[in-house]
Structure 1
Amino acid sequence: MDFEVLVCFVVWASHAAYAWYSVWKASYAYLPRLLDYGATPGWSILSERPKDSTNFEWFIWKEHVTHYLFALILHAGTLPAVMLCLPGRLAKPVLISLWLCLNCLAYGSYPVIVAIGYACILYTTVLLFKTAKSLWVVAVLLFLALNTRLFTPMAHVQYYLFCVFVTYKLLQFVSYLLFTLSKTEKGSVLDDVTHLLFYCLYLPYSTVLFVTYEQFRSQWLARRPLGQRNLPKVLWLATRILFWTFFCDFVLHFCFMNAMVQDYEFLRYVSVDVLCSVVYTAGQFFHSKYVCIFGLFKVFAHVDGMEPPDLPVCISRVALYSRIWRHFDRGLYTFLNTHIFHPLSEAIKYPDLRRVCAGAACFLFVWLFHGQSYSFAVWSFLNFVETMFEYVGCRIDRRLSVVCRLRKLFGIACSRRILAVLQLPCIVVSVFSIAFFLGGADTGFVLIRRILIDEHFQLRPVFFYLISLGYCFVQSTMEVERLRPFAC
């Protein structure tokens, strides 16, 4: 079995390396198209070689990272000074005032003002109706309002920054207000507002590095004193984030997968190996991008003595989407699990119906959170389908002890092969869902037509080749998980 796993790993690793080589080679031919599609001058040290700037999220991040960094440095400098010089009751309102200014500095005053208005609406709803249902109804309406004409006239960059800030604020408002509704002892309005602002304005957790209110509260109360903080670990993390930030930007001078994955006309006619390579490398870049974005805020949370969520797991070491959801955006997963999945599960009597309905509600909210586009709807639906595949498999195993019986009948090695084959439908669904997420609906359908079925609805030969490659991938991820299990 060890030799088979080694062969699978070599096959998968060589294909991953070839994917990057293929995209690098195709990028030279794609350069004239990129100049019309979305190129900006690159680094001066590279003679301003054209750079792929079509990944809007990365482009905005690079443009605004200095604002975030400056605000975070001010935050890290003022927090210990305020905590040291002022008594507890006075420190909190002073910190809230400082953090309000720093959020305006980092994200702009308009998103902060709108978010405060949203907070007032939600808090008033809770005061009037005192139910979680009413809170959720109003919160969903506020999410939907972000895509109305009320806000869309803004410039594209400002609108994106506005949506990022306000959507994460809505998560925080809902998390805090659900916590207050669950308490038996109710506090005063002043206490509620103070706790809410203190939680929502804490800068390292203000947007992408999300934690629920209960997590924030426990972390703040258990903050490590300055002398007990692992500064070498923080410096090493900061060095890693700095390296990956420069490396990601460097790669965009030579590999144009972000432009290609959105250019469905190009993907219709390019060779199949380049098509698959583009989708794979775009997914890899997506992971690296979020390591950089999450990592910056994680560094400063550690500086404050907090325990922020881990960085996103590499998508090349995970085969099942339930694991990706649990270990990629851990904050969003915790929100879904704590505030949607478990409450709905407790309200539904039948176990199977409970899982289906709660899971569907979670992915409906994921679609709502990400902007309610058609491509995100397909992506969310495919994610739901894939997790249902996993759930059905787990239920069958629990009832019939399939894994134990396979091991008794065929041994560990053969049973592992069977389990790898059984995971292949999940891999197929996840690959297509990634294409819809990264490239849009047109890219997703191009991928389906070119590697899954032809115009006569017959399976294409390349699909069977990719299935065998998927088997090698699953075997590799199973071995990686055996050697380095996921932390709970």
Structure 2
Amino acid sequence: MLPRWELSIYLLASLGFHFYSFYEVYKVSREHEEELDEEFELETDTLFGGLKKDPTDFEWSFWMEWGKQRLVWLLLGHVVASQMAKLLAMRHRPWILTTYGMWACWCVLGAPGVAMVFLHTVISFCVAQFRSLLLSWLCSLLLLSTLRLQGVEEVKRRWYQTENEYYLLQFTLTVRCLYYISFSLEFCWQRLPAECAPYSFPWMLAYVFYYPVFHNGPILGFPEFVKQMQQPEHCSLKASLRVLALGLGRLLCWWWLAELMAHLMYMHAIYSSTPLLEAVSSWALGGLALAQVLFFYVKYLVLFGIPALLMRLDGLKPPPLPRCVSTMFSFTGMWRYFDVGLHNFLIRYVYIPVGGSQHGLLGTLFSTAMTFAFVSYWHGGHNYLWCWAALNWLGVTVENGVRKLVETPCVRDILAQFLSPRARRRFHAAFASCSTSMLILSNLVFLGGNQVGKTYWNRIFIQDGVSQVGRPWITFVESRTKGGYLPSERYQPQKIGKMPGKIQDTSHGWPWVTLSVLGFLYCYSHVGIAWAQTYAMD
């Protein structure tokens, strides 16, 4: 560990960078509130003293709207059904919850939605009976590909009166795909008759229609689900009420924080206006990046926190919630600790079956590439998702390569001879700052598209004193089917005008802005490494 005073400096510097850059984003949001309101129709409410809200994050607005309409009541109904079943018919609780899940699905998606989920489940179960991993994978990928066929999309749209109902079906089928992949592959791996007892169609239905994770996850593997459902953790009514009270308290805090960010910083609207993004100051540009990824983190604390709370009340152990992105300093750590359920799924069902690290360097590179290719295709398969996957593949590959190089006896002895442990720690943070810069860039590509990624690359690593005054202002509105799953890259020009003259940034990219960013991320990396060490000790 570094001296406490040094870690304190890094921590204070990191917090200072966060708050000052957020203040710059706040100023830009206030200065351009009228223009952004005209283009994106900012919402006015009384939650934060009349401040307007940026509604352009489709995923957050979508789930909040559905939550207010029906989902909250259906989730509460699941809690009541589960607790009543636990008291009156514990042996039949899985089938009671299956019935409730089908009924809840019918309430929000109608008979066609239930039929689609049931049809996909039946097809996957029937193909799994051949006990062929290849056939099961081909079947799952084929079912996933039908979600993107234009003809099929048009038919499903005709089932509903609103686009939101259609999108809810798409998101549900996309997440369910991972669940029937898990069941099918686990079934193929079971060879003894005694092991196949839980791998029946009723248990598959119980797994697929388990309602807390039905529409948006998180991902729980089939073996863990069956084992925990058959032997749930028993807790008293008093303990359950305590879990419920603490969980609701945390959820309200996270929801309030996400809403506060959307009211104070119009980051999503600014990202939809490329020339405005190109014209803001370097501090505001960095603040927008931090605000975007932190909002995504807080958003998933809410979206995953709700089903995780319900799973705990059911006696199940959900995947851990995402770890704060401000403590992430590597691609590997981001994948391992943000969406733990998805990471476990990819390792068990994609990376290891393809070969993993058991077939040398080329085998590892191929297995990693196939893993990122699948996760990109599952998210939607758009151009910017392939760029995002390629950046992550490259980042993970470079990090693992450097780690293996440093762990070789020759290099390890040289480092130990010429560098003290604290010096090696600082060297680690310096390398991590470069990795973190690329990690943030890849996340911005995922959240904002290729254009946002190009803007950041040019502003931070390429641009050299270009004034932004008087550039044409073309605002693009992004129509996204989902911020995290299934985003689509469709931009439509809405307005052509002139950038307000008061926006001007003559700061250079290389080397001053680049070195400043790496210096800031050096402090972040020290905080993240210390956090990871503390987390490992706990």
TM bracket, shorter-chain basis? over 0.9
The SS at the match of 1:484 is helix
Q: Note the 1:365-376 alignment, pairs <5 A.
A: 365-376=374-385
- Aligned twin of 1:220: 229
Conserved? CA contact 2:462–2:509, under 8 Å: yes
| Distance in 2 of aligned mates of 1:85 and 1:9 | 52
CA distance in 2, matches of 1:176, 1:222: 19
Which of these residues, 422, 444, 469, is aligned with residue 435 of structure 1? 444
User: CA–CA distance in 1 between the matches of 2:412 and 2:244?
Assistant: 42
Q: Is the CA contact (8 Å cut-off) linking 2:54 and 2:268 kept in structure 1?
A: yes
CA deviations over 1:180-221 (Å, ceiling 9, x no partner): 111113589996210100111111232322101011122223
Partner secondary structure for residue 44 of structure 1 = coil
Is this contact kept in 2: 1:111–1:165, CA < 8 A?
Answer: no
| Paired residue total | 484
Instruction: State the TM-score, normalized to the length of structure 2.
Output: 0.84
- Which range is displaced more, 447-456 or 379-388? 447-456
1:111·1:166 contact (CA, 8 Å) conserved in 2? no
User: Structure 1 pair 166/45, CA: closer, same or farther in 2 (3 Å)?
Assistant: closer
The correspondence of residues 227-246 of structure 1 with structure 2, limited to 5 A, is: 227=236, 229=239, 231-246=241-256
1:470, CA displacement in angstroms?
1.6
- Displacement of 1:349 after TM fit? 5.4
Inter-partner Cα distance in structure 1 for 2:47 and 2:368: 49
* 457-466 vs 362-371, greater mean Cα deviation: 457-466
Residue 148 of structure 1 corresponds to 149
* Alpha-carbon contact 1:386-1:430 (below 8 Å) kept: yes
Q: Distance in 1 between matches of 2:378 and 2:143?
A: 11
Amino acid at match of 1:160: Y
8 Å contact from structure 2 (residues 105, 113) kept in 1: no
Higher helix proportion: 1
Residue 462 to residue 199, structure 1, CA distance change in 2 (3 Å): same
Judged with a 3 Å threshold, the aligned counterparts in structure 2 of structure 1 residues 28 and 364 are, in CA distance, closer, same or farther, namely same
Unpaired runs of 5+ residues, structure 1, are none
Which residue number in structure 1 is paired with residue 18 of structure 2?
Answer: 16
Pair 177,20 (structure 1): closer, same or farther in 2 beyond 3 Å:
same
Distance 1:92 1:220 in 2: 7
| Aligned with residue 75 of structure 1, among 73, 78, 81 | 78
Aligned 8 A contact 1:261 1:282 in 2: no
Equivalences for residues 254-273 of structure 1 within 5 A = 254-273=264-283
Matched position secondary structure for 1:235: helix
Distance 1:45 1:133 in 2: 53
Q: CA deviation at 1:83?
A: 4.2
The CA deviation at 1:316 is 0.3
Is this contact kept in 1: 2:131–2:187, CA < 8 A?
no
Does the CA contact (< 8 Å) of 2:48 and 2:260 recur in 1? no
Residue 177 of structure 1 is aligned with which of 180, 184, 187?
Answer: 184
For the residues of structure 2 that align with 1:250 and 1:87, how far apart are their CA atoms?
42
Residue 397 of structure 1 is matched in structure 2 by 406
Superposition misfits of 4+ residues, deviation over 6 angstroms: 187-191, 455-458
Counterpart among 108, 112, 121 of residue 123 in structure 2: 121
Once the two structures are superposed, the pairs formed by residues 80-229 of structure 1 within 5 Å of their partners are 80-86=83-89, 88=91, 91-106=93-108, 109-127=111-129, 129-153=130-154, 154=157, 156-186=163-193, 192-206=200-214, 207-227=216-236, 229=239
* Cα distance in 2, alignment partners of residues 391 and 217 from structure 1: 35
Aligned counterpart in structure 1 of residue 522 of structure 2, from 468, 471, 488: 471
Which shows bigger deviation, 424-433 or 284-293? 424-433
**Matches of 2:73 and 2:404, distance apart in 1:** 50
Does the 8 Å contact 1:261/1:279 carry over to 2?
Answer: no
Moved more, 478-487 or 418-427: 478-487
Work out the CA distance in 2 between the residues paired with 1:18 and 1:178: 49
Q: CA deviation at 1:262?
A: 2.9
Question: Which of residues 354, 370, 378 is equivalent to 1:344?
Answer: 354
C-alpha offsets along residues 5-64 of structure 1, whole Å, 9 cap, x if unaligned?
A: 322222221111112111111111121222133234332355654210000000011101
Q: Which moved more, 1:59-68 or 1:189-198?
A: 189-198
Distance 1:190 1:393 in 2: 44
Coordinate RMSD, CA, aligned: 2.5
The alpha-carbon distance between structure 1 residues 97 and 49, as it changes in their structure 2 partners (threshold 3 A), is same
Contact 1:42 1:253 (8 Å CA) reproduced: no
Residue 418 (structure 1) aligned to one of 414, 427, 433? 427
Q: Which residue is equivalent to 1:330?
A: 340
Displacement of 1:224 in angstroms is 1.7
Matched residue SS, 1:130: coil
Change (3 A) 1:40 1:104: farther
Amino acid aligned to 1:198: A
Change (3 A) 1:308 1:45: closer
Q: Out of 309, 317, 341, which is 2:327 matched to?
A: 317
Tell me the amino acid that sits aligned with residue 137 of structure 2. Answer: W
Percent identical residues:
21
Task: Give 1:109 shift.
Answer: 4.5
Answer whether contact 2:388 2:445 (CA < 8 A) is retained. Answer: yes
Cα distance in structure 1, aligned partners of 2:163 and 2:115 = 19
